[in-house]
């Protein structure tokens, strides 16, 4: 074969080789970084390496593709045979499991069974801490304790009518819409057979009265001697005798004065 024939044969095979070569966009590169399988200078990642998720991120007025090991908050991942893709959750959903099941709602919404609601259904109430619809919790109290012994002013003796009490504990506090708790203590009047208090069981007031009451010797010393200050109680005969004694003293004085004058 001549040289001219060889060249003409090679030219006849070029169209077939061109048809078999892959068609690559001039702006697409296969030497990408960040997990991209193919990428573009303008659009970022166009496809991802195996097991990575492709997601579009908005930057200003344009979107670029990125490849991540897991979907960001506000997106859920779906695996397809040709590509793993991140899809944005619903507008009222902050995080989600899929397009129909939300796991956390945005501010102002309450989560209930995967849905984000403005208001909770009947029989539920909104928990503003977790932003979820929860069951209403009513108050629960324990059983009443036995009635206490009958007392009066802290004593259990020295009286006939007193008061006895009983108590109970709160074992479950209510939620915001739950029934309020009942009273935890009760008191009622009681009547007992009066009995004297032993020495060691006097009430506080009784002990104070005992401290204030002086003994016999102290009371004798404390009483002043009132002789000559206050007239004692006299019988009529005693008063008459005193009057007669006064008259005699007056008469004796008069007689002495007369005798003195005669002597001069």
* Domain definitions of the chain by residue range: 31-88, 100-135, 140-191
pLDDT-derived band at 28 (thresholds 50, 70, 90) equals low
For position 233, what pLDDT does the model report? 64
CA dihedral 172, 176, 180, 184 (to 10 degrees): 40
pLDDT for position 93: 94
Geometric angle at alpha carbon 121, from 118 and 125, rounded to 5°:
85
pLDDT at residue 203 above 80? no
Report strand pairing: 53-59 vs 84-88: parallel
Percent of the chain with pLDDT over 70: 72
- Extract the tokens encoding 92: 């009222």
Query: Between the ranges 8-12, 20-24, 168-172, 235-239, where is the mean pLDDT highest?
Result: 168-172
**Over 70: is that where the pLDDT of 97 sits?**
yes
In this predicted structure, which of 7-16, 24-33, 124-133 has the lowest mean pLDDT? 7-16
Fold type of domain 31-88? 2.10.220
pLDDT at residue 204 tops 50:
yes
Give dist(CA 124, CA 130) in Å, integer: 14
Q: Does 24 score more than 50 pLDDT?
A: no
Nearest to 96 by CA among 68, 76, 110, 80: 76
Average pLDDT over residues 169-186: 94
**140-191 is classed CATH 2.40.50:** no
Other Cβ atoms within 10 Å of 57 Cβ, number: 14
Name the percent of the chain lying above pLDDT 90: 41
Is a pLDDT exceeding 50 seen at residue 34?
yes
Residues in the chain: 264
Q: How far apart are CA 18 and CA 7, in angstroms?
A: 17
Q: What's this model's pTM, rounded to 2 decimal places?
A: 0.48
Using DSSP's 3-state secondary structure scheme, residue 254 falls into helix
- What is the average per-residue pLDDT within 158-178? 93
CA-to-CA separations, 207 to 162, 203, 229, in angstroms, rounded: 20, 6, 37
Distances (CA, A) of 34 to 73, 86, 230: 19, 16, 121
> Is the distance from CB of 65 to CB of 55 less than 8 angstroms?
yes
Helices (H), the chain: 3-20, 204-212, 216-222, 236-263
Across residues 45-63, what is the average pLDDT? 88
Phi, psi of 21, deg, nearest 5: -70, 145
Asked whether the predicted pLDDT for residue 26 surpasses 50, the reply is: no
The average confidence (pLDDT) of the chain is 78
Model confidence at 242, in pLDDT bands (50, 70, 90)? confident
Listed residue (42, 69, 40, 32) closest to 54, CA to CA:
69
Q: Do the beta carbons of residue 49 and residue 56 sit within 8 Å?
A: no
> pLDDT grade, residue 161 (50/70/90)?
very high
């Amino acid at each position: 074969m001549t040289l001219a024939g060889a060249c003409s044969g090679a030219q006849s095979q070029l169209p077939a080789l061109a048809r078999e070569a892959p068609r690559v966009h001039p702006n697409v590169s296969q030497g990408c970084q960040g997990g991209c399988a193919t990428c573009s200078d303008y659009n970022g990642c166009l496809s991802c390496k195996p097991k990575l998720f492709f997601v579009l991120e908005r930057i200003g007025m344009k979107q670029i593709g990125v490849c991540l090991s897991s979907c960001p908050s506000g997106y859920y991942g779906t695996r397809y045979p040709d590509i793993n893709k991140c899809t944005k959750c619903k507008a009222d959903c902050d995080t989600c499991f899929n397009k129909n099941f939300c796991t956390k709602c945005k501010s102002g919404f309450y989560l209930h069974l995967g849905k984000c609601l403005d208001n909770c259904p009947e029989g539920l109430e909104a928990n503003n801490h977790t932003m979820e619809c929860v069951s209403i919790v009513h108050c629960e109290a324990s059983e009443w304790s036995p009635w206490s012994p009958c007392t009066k002013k802290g004593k259990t003796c020295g009286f006939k009518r007193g008061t006895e009490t009983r108590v109970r504990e709160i074992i479950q506090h209510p939620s915001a819409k739950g029934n309020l708790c009942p009273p935890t203590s009760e008191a009622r009047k009681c009547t007992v057979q009066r009995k004297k208090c032993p020495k060691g069981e006097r009430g506080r007031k009784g002990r104070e009265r005992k401290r204030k009451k002086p003994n016999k010797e102290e009371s004798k010393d404390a009483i002043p001697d009132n002789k000559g200050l206050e007239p004692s109680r006299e019988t009529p005969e005693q008063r008459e005798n005193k009057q007669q004694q006064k008259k005699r003293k007056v008469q004796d004085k008069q007689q002495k004065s007369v005798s003195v004058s005669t002597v001069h």
